[in-house]
């Protein structure tokens, strides 16, 4: 198989983790007779420094021409004072919209070797943590109208949350279909007691429910869902929700698994081209120190092989190599526990490669 992967190295410590993911991809390619070629694309702070724009059209076109995109993380203190449209995060929003990626999928699964790292009680963790948040990615308040104006002598800010039926239906189908492939349990998270958009979500989801009779479906207010993720995460299989709620809940879900340094994600639309990235930030405080955890980026690359390239066996091998490294007691600083060996970013990449 021949595939072209657009690489966005990102900002601060991010290039360190992308470099390790590429090493692992190259090892998998050599082992199985694949050819992965890489095209550099710039987005976020590095694009601002190079082009004065967080995502120039030329860089979006590079991503659109690739078979998939692997991203590290963007942002950092260097660019925090810029206007909203020029901030690194705006490049990420524009990339998702430009690629038509309306479904973000974040697994929340605790590795048994890291159970003690979860902030939850042992009795809660023992019941199991294994669910996925399916988040609508290119609609809602993040893509609505934003304005700040002076009214009656004071400033007033407005952010609009808008959803159309087709936007809800397409992500709702992803939720139901994902549940069909797992434990057939879907929870739609909303705020229907307050928001018109949430009431429309419920109406559309009720129509879809009839098409998936094998899936157990329920609805939950977002504030209750945030509490239940901490109280009893074992009750969840698949959560489907709108953009802002999904952003917040998926970050919460990542924390209960022990470390955001272990959590990958995929963003998909129509077709097989996707955007794959770890859920953590660019970690500017440890940039250049070779101590950042590359595992989430490596697992994101495994998701790319599985969901965009159809290479499930190769993805399994990458995930098994990560598990074997954890079994051996090797840990980066963010997941280190007494009795384990603390290693750096490059050494973690070396260890995963050795088990491939």
Catalytic residues: 142, 191, 223, 247, 251
Nearest to 246 by CA among 195, 296, 189: 189
What is the signed CA dihedral for 73, 79, 83, 89, rounded to 10 degrees? 0
Nearest to 173 by CA among 268, 107, 295: 268
Paired strand residues for 217: 186
Paired strand residues for 341: 330
Give the C-alpha separation, 16 to 9, whole Å. Answer: 8
User: For the chain, what is the radius of gyration of the CA atoms?
Assistant: 20
| Count of CB atoms situated within 10 Å of the CB of 92 | 23
| Count of CB atoms situated within 10 Å of the CB of 75 | 22
Residues 318 and 355: beta-carbon distance below 8 Å: no
**How deeply is 115 buried, as exposed, middle or buried, from its count of CB atoms within 10 A (0-12, 13-18, 19+)?**
middle
Residues 179 and 186: beta-carbon distance below 8 Å: yes
| Count of CB atoms situated within 10 Å of the CB of 295 | 29
Q: Which residue has the tokens 């098994």?
A: 320
């Amino acid at each position: 198989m021949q595939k072209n992967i657009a690489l966005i190295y990102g900002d601060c410590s991010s290039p360190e983790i992308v470099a390790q993911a590429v090493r692992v991809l190259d090892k998998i390619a050599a082992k199985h007779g694949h050819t992965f070629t890489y095209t550099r694309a710039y987005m976020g702070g590095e694009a601002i420094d190079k082009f004065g724009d967080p995502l120039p059209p030329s860089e979006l076109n590079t991503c659109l021409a690739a078979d998939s995109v692997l991203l590290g993380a963007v942002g950092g203190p260097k660019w925090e004072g810029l206007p909203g449209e020029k901030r690194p995060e705006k490049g990420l929003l524009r990339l998702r919209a430009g690629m038509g990626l309306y479904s973000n999928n974040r697994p929340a699964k605790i590795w048994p070797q890291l159970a003690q790292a979860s902030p939850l009680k042992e009795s809660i963790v023992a019941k199991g943590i294994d669910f996925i948040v399916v988040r609508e990615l290119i609609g809602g308040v993040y893509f609505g109208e934003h304005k700040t104006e002076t009214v009656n002598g004071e400033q007033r800010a407005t952010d609009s949350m808008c959803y159309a039926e087709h936007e809800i239906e397409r992500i709702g189908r992803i939720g139901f279909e994902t549940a069909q492939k797992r434990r057939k349990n879907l929870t739609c998270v909303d705020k229907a007691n307050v928001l018109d958009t949430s009431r429309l979500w419920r109406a559309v989801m009720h129509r879809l429910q009839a098409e998936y009779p094998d899936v157990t479906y329920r609805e939950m207010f977002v504030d209750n869902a945030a509490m239940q993720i901490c109280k009893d995460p074992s009750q969840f299989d698949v959560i489907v929700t709108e953009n802002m709620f999904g952003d917040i809940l998926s970050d919460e879900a990542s924390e209960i698994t022990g470390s955001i340094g272990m959590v990958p994600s995929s963003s998909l639309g129509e077709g097989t081209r996707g955007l794959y990235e770890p859920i953590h930030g660019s970690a500017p405080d440890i940039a250049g120190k070779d101590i950042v955890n590359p595992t989430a980026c490596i697992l994101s690359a495994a998701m790319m092989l599985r969901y965009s390239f159809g290479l499930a066996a190769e993805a399994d091998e990458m995930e098994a190599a990560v598990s074997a490294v954890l079994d051996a007691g090797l840990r980066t600083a963010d997941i280190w526990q007494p009795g384990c060996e603390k290693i750096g970013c490059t050494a973690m990449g070396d260890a995963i490669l050795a088990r491939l």
